[in-house]
Structure 1
Amino acid sequence: MEEMKHYDKAANKFYANLNITELPLAGWDVFSKFFSKVCESLQDINILKGISHEQAWQTVVPFEKEVLKKKHIIVVTDAKLNIVHATQNIYDMNGYRPEEIVGQKPKIFQGEKTCKHTAQRISKAVRELESFEATILNYRKDGSTYNCWIKGTPIYNRKGKVVNFIAFEREVA
């Protein structure tokens, strides 16, 4: 029954924004793919809210806006930079399923052609617990490259301790 709760939320959000009365039969394939993406996004949002609650984040992150409106990929690591969650839309960007990268370090996406200077700048910001924004050449699971815009920031709990890092990402030209 728990999975139906996500379905109902997704259906309500989806149908609330539609202004059509009929959908051609040929359109059901498009509809079902879009609807599946909305369901996955809502599931991710609930997981992210759970992580933020469990870790007692000081910062309230607008997950709905970041995932549903901006279409950002969100990657959350623990304080030691092990990935604890990645939104399911990461697969569309780099071919990795979230469960394949949980427990890995974000460096899994870097390779030979990744700009060392940019990688060092990001590492320095993380070490110094500073927010950063950069575009870096990353590698997909199949070995091909893509430019990834990343906006990252440390996340503090209510006691002032860094408990996570969060990165908002998207592929750019």
Structure 2
Amino acid sequence: MKNNLSDMMGVDMYLAGLSKSEFKKIQKYLKPSNRTVPPLLCWDICFPYYQEMLNKAKINTELQVLYKYSRRYNWNIDLDKTLNAFPYEALVLTDETKNILWVNNGFSEMTGYPKSHAINRSPGFLQGEKTSEAVKSGIRKKIQLKKPFKEVIVNYRKNGSTYNCEVRIFPLAGDNSLHFLALEREVS
């Protein structure tokens, strides 16, 4: 115990575990350190947990909106499983004519467009000169098959910058209705 214990990691935990008699035996060897160590902030420990909780709350809020649509149209899809299985930033719900019915907040964050700008429009408003006609045609053909698929397309943000958008599209068949849910994220 001749070493300066305050220089050792975990000293606080070690000392907290000692009985009073054990502490008295080693107390004379304890010397305060002249080093200053920045305090450990609770936020340093809690931030990752906080981010995880925010993400879960976001997914839960989005699920609640989608559950309302699902009950209304009687979709045959496990929304929990779908949203938790694939990474996404934006969610876009369209009807069978490809008019946008709903987008999540992540859509606005990713594209720069407010939600109100997207509603009742086709997702084509995000496309432009650098968007491949072959990719657009391929997406149209895959939508007609009414099967889930993934594609990457060049889209445009409100500020005019382009980004590669990975789109996972899920057809949502229900009672006399067809909708599409797109899970979107920017990829390199």
Structure-1-length-normalised TM-score: 0.71
- SS in structure 1 of the partner of residue 184 of structure 2: strand
Aligned residues: 147
The answer for unaligned runs of 5 or more in structure 2 is 1-40
1:84 corresponds in structure 2 to 101
The answer for unaligned runs of 5 or more in structure 1 is 1-21
After TM superposition, give the deviation of residue 48 of structure 1 in Å: 1.1
Give the aligned residue type for 1:163.
L
Give the aligned residue type for 1:56.
N
Query: Which deviates further from its counterpart, 134-143 or 35-44?
Result: 35-44
Going from structure 1 to structure 2, the CA distance change for 1:30 and 1:101 (only over 3 Å counts) comes to: farther
1:23 corresponds in structure 2 to 42
- SS in structure 1 of the partner of residue 170 of structure 2: strand
1:168 equivalent in alignment to 2:187: no
After TM superposition, give the deviation of residue 131 of structure 1 in Å: 2.8
Larger Rg: 2
Identical columns (%): 26
Going from structure 1 to structure 2, the CA distance change for 1:42 and 1:101 (only over 3 Å counts) comes to: same
Kindly provide the CA deviation profile for residues 103-144 of structure 1, in whole angstroms up to 9, marking residues without a partner as x: 110101110110110001001122343332110100001111
2:16 corresponds in structure 1 to none
After TM superposition, give the deviation of residue 45 of structure 1 in Å: 2.0
Q: CA contact under 8 A between 1:76 and 1:85: conserved in structure 2?
A: yes
Give the alignment partner of residue 150 of structure 2, picking from 126, 133, 137: 133
Give the alignment partner of residue 52 of structure 1, picking from 62, 67, 70: 70
Q: CA contact under 8 A between 1:109 and 1:139: conserved in structure 2?
A: yes
- SS in structure 2 of the partner of residue 89 of structure 1: helix
Q: CA contact under 8 A between 1:41 and 1:88: conserved in structure 2?
A: no
| CA distance in structure 1 between the partners assigned to 2:148 and 2:113 by the alignment | 25
> RMSD of the TM alignment (CA)?
2.8
Q: Spell out the pairing of 1:23-172 with structure 2 (5 A cutoff).
A: 23-24=42-43, 39-62=57-80, 65=84, 70-157=87-174, 159=175, 161-172=176-187
